[in-house]
Amino acid sequence: MAMNITKKILSAHLAKPSDMIPGQDIFLKVDQTLTHDINAVMTYLAFEQVGLDRIGVECSVSYLDHNLLYLDNKTPDDHIYLQSVAKRYGVHVSRPGNGICHAVHVARFGAPGKLSMGGDSHTPHGGSIGMLCIGVGGMDVATAMTGVPMRLTMPKVVKVNLVGHLKPGCNAKEVILEMLRRVGIKGGLGKVFEYVGPGASTLTVSERATITNMGAEMGATTSIFPADERVREFMRAQHREDQFVEILPDEGCDYDEEMEVDLSSLEPLCACPHQPDNVIPLKDVEKKKVQQVFIGSCTNASYSDIAKAALVLKGHHVNEDVSCTCAISSKQIYTQLMRDGYIEMLMNAGVRLLELACGPCCAIGQSPATKGVAVRTTNRNFKGRAGNPTAEIYLVSPESAAATAIVGTFASAEDILGADVAKLAEIHEPQEFPIDDSMIIKPLPLEEAKKVEIVRGPNIQPLPIPDAPENYLKAQISLKAVDNISTDDITPASAEFSSMRSNIPLMSQYCYHRYDPTFAARAKEMGKSFIIGGENYGQGSSREHAAINPMYLGVKAVIAKSIARIHRGNLINHGVIPMLFADPADYDKLEQEDELEINGLLDQMPGRMVEIRDVTKDFTFKVKLDLSDSELEVITAGGQLRHLQKQLKEMEQ
């Protein structure tokens, strides 16, 4: 049977036979996992609890890449724990300074046809090399690392037929911003975007990575490109051509949906505050004074991204009113840019070079000024994402960011270079990258690994484990939230907050801190409570702390109009029941501090419909439980850790 790329990879990883019908549960054997420092401590604490001696997948990598700002003991405590726990269980470690997880993973570990799960929403970056990469919560990564089959709702596969080719001065960022403009931040839910067609073969792996990486902003399960000659070139440049396998869609294969993007028609675009789908042509953005430009992140800090930005800046200087910083995505890219003279161009233009890390992308340094206009090449522009909720974040390509840094207001590469913009097309990815894996610590043999002592500084606090739900639940509403609450709203980003993520008793005090600073104390005081959400609750980053912290504060269920995919999984894993209004109009009737009562919760759950009484206002309403059988088992067991321990015990018997 003719198959698309997605189905080919999924069918090769099925742990149980399946017809792969969209919406049905499928169970998959995972090849690789990745974690990163600001989410991973919970993952490894959970893996320790499982009681295995070693990981059960081909390859797991722990990246120390997000928070390299050691403000106090907390982050070094985390890094030392992560390095020692990785040694104990056979996990590779990519040390601080080696680069951002997705860039390094694609370059040094990924391979076409593999299936990976990563504790980061931008894990689909690896779709750029024809690998199926899915972003999940940290507890899911811990589960995948054991080697047990992972559940996935079979997605619909959308064919995105690319035609034409990008004009000089236009970046792959324009492609994904155009997708976001058309599809929106919820439009990718339950879908894989498969980019094919003649335009796809004009894009390099790094350009493809910008598109698959930022596909996360559409809420997609993942995005993928064919493993074709462009991927072979990339693998060759990484000295790993032996791991290349060609994976193309079969002729005449089916897709669930189709769309087309003409690359030649794209102009520089910009995502305006405060959502990544608020996209308009760059030339139409109000010419405000820009305070800050940041060129970097996993999305847009490849060799050609930075080289093109440097070429725009060459012979110019950063405007005196603009703070312009740049964080390159990996050591090998930095080295090559240095050899080719681009680092000097950046420095001569007054760009401040930062560590090879996520940094400003997740508010670890370089927060904008009060009400500052920040122009970034990153992937998210939620309020507060840059560490200052009064700031406005605009997302553009590196070429446009460089031009903006010179002018001091929104500008494109063509505005600076005129007809010479064509020169940008002469920049190509290196035919050979400098290969140096000395910053990667390889796993020890099992017997040696068993002797490793896991180091736990004071910031490493035990993982809180939820209680199983009871049949009778009476609790107040601790928060009524609006539409599009992001995990950044729930668990704020910054160097200070990120360093608390291994310490839930401390971090939970800052839950919803920037959205409603009174929430944490109120929820704790209530003991048990409900959160009410609007549409797309929990969008954005995969950080499971957005589920763990409310759980720790006693939140038993989130009742929303819709819940984003990864966050929904995190709620389930941490024993918080995700409920959807059967009639969204009921959202308007509820108020913060209303008391809600559920009689027979456990009895009603198998029917996937639960009746709730608002005791304060004396009316009843219904909520749907959009849970598969296995998710229901996880919830009733009291979360994924208890469920996994039970599963592994049964497998032993």
User: Quick one: which of 37, 77, 120, 429 contacts ligand F3S (CB under 6 A)?
Assistant: 120
Which residues on adjacent β-strands are paired with residue 153? 25
- Cβ at position 136, least distance to ligand F3S in Å: 14
Q: How many residues bind ligand F3S (CB under 6 A)?
A: 13
By C-beta, is 83 or 379 nearer to ligand F3S?
379
- Cβ at position 102, least distance to ligand F3S in Å: 6
31-54: burial string, b at 16+ Cβ within 10 Å, e else: bbbbbbbbbbbbbbbbbeebeeee
Q: Which stretch binds ligand F3S (CB under 6 A): 77-85, 253-261, 356-364, 639-647?
A: 356-364
Q: Say whether 249 sits in a helix, a strand or coil.
A: coil
Q: Which stretch binds ligand F3S (CB under 6 A): 7-15, 41-49, 98-106, 266-274?
A: 98-106
Q: Which stretch binds ligand F3S (CB under 6 A): 157-165, 357-365, 416-424, 426-434?
A: 357-365
By C-beta, is 542 or 640 nearer to ligand F3S?
542
By C-beta, is 219 or 226 nearer to ligand F3S?
219
Q: Which stretch binds ligand F3S (CB under 6 A): 51-59, 96-104, 259-267, 304-312?
A: 96-104
| C-alpha atoms less than 13 angstroms from C-alpha of 213 in its C-beta half-sphere | 25
Residues 6+ apart with CB under 8 A from 525: none
By C-beta, is 429 or 488 nearer to ligand F3S?
488
x-or-dash string of contact with ligand F3S, 468-507, rule CB under 6 A? ----------------------------------------
Q: Say whether 138 sits in a helix, a strand or coil.
A: helix
Q: Which stretch binds ligand F3S (CB under 6 A): 80-88, 132-140, 354-362, 572-580?
A: 354-362
User: Quick one: which of 128, 238, 297, 400 contacts ligand F3S (CB under 6 A)?
Assistant: 297
Contact call for residue 100 and ligand F3S (CB under 6 A): yes
Q: Say whether 9 sits in a helix, a strand or coil.
A: helix
By C-beta, is 93 or 154 nearer to ligand F3S?
93
By C-beta, is 101 or 192 nearer to ligand F3S?
101
Length of the chain: 653
- Residues 484 and 639: their CA atoms lie apart, in Å, by 25
Contact call for residue 345 and ligand F3S (CB under 6 A): no
- Residues 360 and 160: their CA atoms lie apart, in Å, by 31
Q: Which stretch binds ligand F3S (CB under 6 A): 99-107, 268-276, 503-511, 622-630?
A: 99-107
By C-beta, is 199 or 538 nearer to ligand F3S?
538
- Cβ at position 122, least distance to ligand F3S in Å: 5
Residue with tokens 């499928």, as numbered in its chain? 26
The number of helix segments (H) and strand segments (E) in the chain equals: 24, 26
Please give the sequence-ordered ranges of beta strands (E in DSSP) within 179-303, or none if there are none.
191-196, 222-224, 257-262, 269-271, 279-281, 292-296
Asked whether 158 and 255 are in contact (CB, 8 A), the reply is yes
CB neighbourhood size of 222 (10 A): 26
User: Quick one: which of 29, 87, 88, 122 contacts ligand F3S (CB under 6 A)?
Assistant: 122
- Cβ at position 84, least distance to ligand F3S in Å: 23
- Cβ at position 474, least distance to ligand F3S in Å: 40
By C-beta, is 159 or 385 nearer to ligand F3S?
385
Q: Which stretch binds ligand F3S (CB under 6 A): 100-108, 187-195, 409-417, 444-452?
A: 100-108
- Cβ at position 506, least distance to ligand F3S in Å: 21
Q: Which stretch binds ligand F3S (CB under 6 A): 173-181, 358-366, 399-407, 584-592?
A: 358-366
User: Quick one: which of 298, 306, 328, 477 contacts ligand F3S (CB under 6 A)?
Assistant: 298
CB neighbourhood size of 186 (10 A): 16
- Residues 450 and 556: their CA atoms lie apart, in Å, by 38
Which two tokens mark 84?
Answer: 């020692």
Q: Which stretch binds ligand F3S (CB under 6 A): 269-277, 355-363, 513-521, 550-558?
A: 355-363
- Cβ at position 271, least distance to ligand F3S in Å: 14
By C-beta, is 98 or 146 nearer to ligand F3S?
98
- Cβ at position 301, least distance to ligand F3S in Å: 8
- Residues 407 and 400: their CA atoms lie apart, in Å, by 11
Residues 6+ apart with CB under 8 A from 195: 160, 162, 208, 211, 212, 223, 224, 225
x-or-dash string of contact with ligand F3S, 302-341, rule CB under 6 A? ----------------------------------------
Residues 6+ apart with CB under 8 A from 574: 139, 466, 544, 547, 548, 551, 639, 640
Contact call for residue 358 and ligand F3S (CB under 6 A): yes
Site residues for ligand F3S, 60-79, by CB under 6 A, read 66
- Cβ at position 208, least distance to ligand F3S in Å: 16
Kindly list the distances between the CA atom of residue 54 and the CA atoms of 28, 142, 404, in Å, as whole numbers in the listed order: 20, 12, 50
Site residues for ligand F3S, 367-386, by CB under 6 A, read 378-379
User: Which value, in Å, is the radius of gyration of the alpha carbons in the chain?
Assistant: 24
* DSSP 8-state symbol, 387: S
| Residue 608 backbone zone (phi > 0: left; psi -120 to 50: alpha; other: beta) | left
CB neighbourhood size of 320 (10 A): 7
- Cβ at position 87, least distance to ligand F3S in Å: 23
* DSSP 8-state symbol, 283: G
Which two tokens mark 78?
Answer: 């985390």
x-or-dash string of contact with ligand F3S, 549-568, rule CB under 6 A? --------------------
CB neighbourhood size of 626 (10 A): 14
- Cβ at position 647, least distance to ligand F3S in Å: 30
H or E element that contains 643:
helix 640-652
- Residues 86 and 63: their CA atoms lie apart, in Å, by 10
By C-beta, is 217 or 429 nearer to ligand F3S?
217
By C-beta, is 366 or 412 nearer to ligand F3S?
366
Kindly list the distances between the CA atom of residue 336 and the CA atoms of 128, 328, 330, 354, 444, in Å, as whole numbers in the listed order: 21, 11, 10, 16, 31
By C-beta, is 122 or 314 nearer to ligand F3S?
122
- Cβ at position 33, least distance to ligand F3S in Å: 15
Residue with tokens 């009316």, as numbered in its chain? 619
Residues 6+ apart with CB under 8 A from 266: 166, 167, 170, 174, 175, 178
Strands 555-560 and 25-28 turn out to be unpaired
> Which residues would be at the binding site for ligand F3S (CB under 6 A)?
66, 100-102, 120, 122, 297-298, 358, 361-362, 378-379
